[in-house]
């Protein structure tokens, strides 16, 4: 009896420890997803306009899953210490539901991240930046987001200013090629927001315009966002898997 | 050798042609300079959809300090038939009537003072053909430096006029073709495939979830039965204690009655 008592105590201890870790990771996941939903880089308008899954949905699911994990971990600790079959059964079933939701969130985040190619942003920018009759609110939001992006990161277009030359764009329809080979925001601006040398910018003299593309400035935070949700969620789920297996084993060994 | 010196095959036709052209070309000195797109510094906008940038003709027209130097922009096929005597600022060379019916126009007039020689280091001496958008339709400004109406190809040369008499010209440039914009529908946004990370996450999580579901089913299936001898492995904290029976107590009773 003593040996199985020790076994029991060790397993209880491990399960309690596992649940404590799940609780803390749940809080961390909630905090991380709240940070992503708050969109500190102002990229949400660009990422919103997609035909397939929404990276923000994954973050929202992550917030609620994190809170659920925290609550369930407390339930699990109580159930393990009291060795109550009912409590632990409820715990296991609710945990499986949470597992399924978090799985959906991870896969959504990873899939959406794969669709954020330069071509995707290029097409969106050409079709909607400075659209003369904005069809809906999102067009003017995209224009504002791009202006802010080009201003803050000193970049132009997706791969460079040549994007505006190589492709027909909505911008080109209202701004003549001779006056605006690329938008004014691509020029090096002074403190008042006016180009330092407009002719130099229009000619493309190095130093008076921004020659690098904005794709790195977009994909960097978007990647962090997606992989933060996807891989952290994956790690939590692997740990949860082990804890749940141990709980199932513990549950089947409780006498009733 | 059958011939003492090699003879150019066309020389027999060249000579009369030269004699014919000589009176017509009287007075126009051909300068060896050929206008070209700016290579130094590297300009991003050296060619756009409606403009292009050529170097200024520095140190080319040194002998013509009294002349006005014009830039002639012509369609590729019209370059060879351009009449040097066509006056600038007339409807024959008006930008507003280019490319049809006028097939070559004259613009960007300047005196030698605008092109000082030698060029100071660090200065960017270029001419942007097509930069004036305000006079595109202004018939009162036939020498407008307006944006080019199509991708071309175009050829340019510089022509120096004293009064209305052409005195010097450069060679025609090589044909310049401008950039053409492709429609955005040519950008393919499909089929970048799935990254290996996403495939790994999906498969591993699916397998884990399946195992957990199987475990749950096994758990519930074996709820009722005391299976695998594990029923009494973990005892509840408030367990029943076994009382010891005192066997001596039982045998004492009959002895007391007897």
ipTM of this predicted complex?
0.83
Domain assignment present for residue B40? The answer is: yes
Local confidence band at B230 (pLDDT 50, 70, 90 cut-offs): very low
pLDDT recorded at residue A120: 87
Calculate mean pLDDT across residues A45-70.
81
Residue B120 has pLDDT above 90, yes or no: no
Give B249's contacts (C-beta < 8 A, 6+ positions apart): none
Calculate mean pLDDT across residues A12-19.
94
Domain assignment present for residue B122? The answer is: yes
Neighbours of B224 (CB within 10 A): 7
Q: What is the mean pLDDT of chain B?
A: 80
Give SS3 for A113.
helix
Angle at which helices A137-153 and A215-252 pack, to 10 degrees? 110
Which is nearest to B93 in space by CA: B68, B61, B71, B67? Answer: B71
B184 vs A107, A169, A234: nearest CB = A169
Nearest-angstrom CA–CA distance, B239 and A61: 43
Domain assignment present for residue B20? The answer is: no
Domain assignment present for residue B225? The answer is: no
- Domain hosting B159: range is 26-181
Would you call B44 and A255 a contact, using CB atoms and an 8 Å cutoff?
Answer: no
Task: Characterize the bridge pairing of strands B154-162 and B126-129.
Answer: unpaired
Q: Where are the beta strands (DSSP E) in chain B?
A: 29-30, 52-55, 68-75, 104-111, 126-129, 154-162, 165-169
Q: Is A123 touching B (CB cutoff 8 A)?
A: yes
Number of folded domains that form chain B: 1
Domain assignment present for residue B97? The answer is: yes
Q: How far is A83 from chain B (nearest CA, A)?
A: 7
Angle at the Cα of A114 (from A111 to A119), degrees rounded to 5? 140
Domain assignment present for residue B51? The answer is: yes
Would you call A110 and B202 a contact, using CB atoms and an 8 Å cutoff?
Answer: yes
pLDDT recorded at residue B227: 44
Domain assignment present for residue B250? The answer is: no
Give B74: exposed, middle or buried? Use CB within 10 Å, 0-12, 13-18, 19+.
Answer: buried
Q: For tokens 């899953």, name the residue.
A: A65
Residue A1 has pLDDT above 60, yes or no: no
Local confidence band at B175 (pLDDT 50, 70, 90 cut-offs): very high
Chain B residues close to A177, C-beta within 8 Å = 48-51, 147
Residue B232 has pLDDT above 50, yes or no: no
Substitution target in B37, B56, B177, B205 with the highest count of A β-carbons within 10 Å is B205
Q: Is A184 touching B (CB cutoff 8 A)?
A: no
Which is nearest to A179 in space by CA: B4, B131, B196, B28? Answer: B131
Nearest-angstrom CA–CA distance, A118 and A161: 14
First-to-final CA distance of chain A? 17
Would you call B208 and A241 a contact, using CB atoms and an 8 Å cutoff?
Answer: yes
Residue A34 has pLDDT above 90, yes or no: yes
Give SS3 for B83.
coil
pLDDT recorded at residue B247: 60
Q: Is A52 touching B (CB cutoff 8 A)?
A: no
Q: How far is A107 from chain B (nearest CA, A)?
A: 6
Domain assignment present for residue B230? The answer is: no
pLDDT recorded at residue B225: 57
DSSP codes, A193-207? SSBS-HHHHHHT-TT
Which B residues 27-46 touch A at CB under 8 Å? 41-46
Q: Is B225 touching A (CB cutoff 8 A)?
A: no
Nearest-angstrom CA–CA distance, B157 and B169: 7
Check the CA dihedral B248-B252-B254-B255 and report its sign: positive
Query: What CATH number is attached to the domain comprising B51?
Result: 2.60.40.10
Check the CA dihedral A199-A200-A202-A208 and report its sign: negative
Q: Long-range pairs for B86-90 at CB < 8 Å and ≥24 separation?
A: B87/B164, B88/B142, B88/B143, B88/B161, B89/B142, B89/B143, B90/B142
Q: Is the backbone of residue A219 left (phi > 0), alpha (psi -120 to 50) or beta?
A: alpha
The predicted-structure confidence for A91-131, as pLDDT tens digits, reads as follows 999 999 999 999 999 988 888 888 888 888 898 889 888 88
Would you call A100 and B209 a contact, using CB atoms and an 8 Å cutoff?
Answer: yes
What's A209's DSSP letter? B
Calculate mean pLDDT across residues B88-97.
86
The predicted-structure confidence for A196-243, as pLDDT tens digits, reads as follows 999 999 999 998 999 999 999 988 888 888 888 889 999 999 999 999
Would you call A4 and B219 a contact, using CB atoms and an 8 Å cutoff?
Answer: no
> 0.80 exceeded by the pTM?
no
SS3 of B139-200: CCCCCCCCCCCCCCCEEEEEEEEECCEEEEECCCCCCECCCCCECHHHCCCCCCCCCHHHHH
Q: How far is A13 from chain B (nearest CA, A)?
A: 13
């Amino acid at each position: 009896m003593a040996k199985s008592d020790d076994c029991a105590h060790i397993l209880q201890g491990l399960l309690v420890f596992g649940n404590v870790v799940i609780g803390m990771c749940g809080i961390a996941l909630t905090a991380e997803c709240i940070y992503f939903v708050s969109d500190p880089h102002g990229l949400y308008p660009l990422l919103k306009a997609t035909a397939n899954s929404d990276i923000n949905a994954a973050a929202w699911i992550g917030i609620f899953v994190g809170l659920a994990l925290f609550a369930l971990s407390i339930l699990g600790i109580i159930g393990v210490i009291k060795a109550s079959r009912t409590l632990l059964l409820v715990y296991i079933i609710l945990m499986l539901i949470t597992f399924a939701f978090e799985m959906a969130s991870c896969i959504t985040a990873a899939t959406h991240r794969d669709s954020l190619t330069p071509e995707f942003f290029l097409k969106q920018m050409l079709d909607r930046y400075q659209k003369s009759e904005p069809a809906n609110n999102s067009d003017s939001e995209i224009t504002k987001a791009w202006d802010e992006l080009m201003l803050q990161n000193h970049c132009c277009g997706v791969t460079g200013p040549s994007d505006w030359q190589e492709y027909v764009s909505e911008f080109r329809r209202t701004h003549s090629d001779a006056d605006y080979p690329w938008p004014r925001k691509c020029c090096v601006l002074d403190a008042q927001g006016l180009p330092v040398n407009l002719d130099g910018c229009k000619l493309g003299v190095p130093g008076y315009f921004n020659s690098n593309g904005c794709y790195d400035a977009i994909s960097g935070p978007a990647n962090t966002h997606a992989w933060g949700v996807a891989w952290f969620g994956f790690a939590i789920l692997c740990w949860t898997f082990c804890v749940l297996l141990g709980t199932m084993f513990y549950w089947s060994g409780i006498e009733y | 050798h059958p011939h003492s010196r090699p003879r150019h095959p066309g020389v027999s036709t060249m000579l009369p042609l030269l004699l014919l052209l000589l009176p017509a070309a009287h007075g126009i000195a051909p300068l060896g300079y050929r206008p070209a797109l700016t290579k130094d510094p590297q300009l991003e906008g050296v060619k756009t959809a409606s403009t292009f940038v050529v170097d200024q003709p520095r140190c080319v027209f040194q002998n013509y300090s009294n002349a006005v130097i014009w830039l002639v922009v012509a369609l590729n096929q019209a370059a060879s038939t351009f009449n040097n005597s066509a006056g600038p600022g007339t409807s024959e060379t008006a930008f507003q009537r280019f490319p049809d019916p006028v097939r070559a126009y004259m613009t960007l007039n300047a005196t030698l003072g605008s092109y000082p020689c030698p060029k100071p280091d660090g200065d960017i001496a270029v001419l942007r053909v097509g930069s004036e958008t305000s006079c595109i339709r202004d018939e009162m400004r036939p020498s407008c430096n307006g944006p080019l109406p199509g991708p071309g190809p175009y050829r340019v040369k510089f022509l120096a006029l004293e009064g209305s008499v052409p005195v010097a010209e450069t060679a025609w440039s090589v044909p310049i073709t401008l950039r053409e914009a492709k429609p955005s529908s040519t950008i393919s946004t499909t089929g970048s495939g799935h990254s290996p990370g996403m495939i790994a996450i999906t498969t591993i999580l699916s397998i884990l979830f399946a195992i957990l579901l199987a475990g749950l089913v096994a758990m519930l299936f074996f709820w009722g039965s005391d299976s695998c001898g594990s029923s009494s492995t973990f005892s509840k904290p408030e367990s029943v204690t076994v009382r010891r029976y005192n066997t001596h107590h039982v045998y004492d009773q009959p002895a007391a009655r007897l």
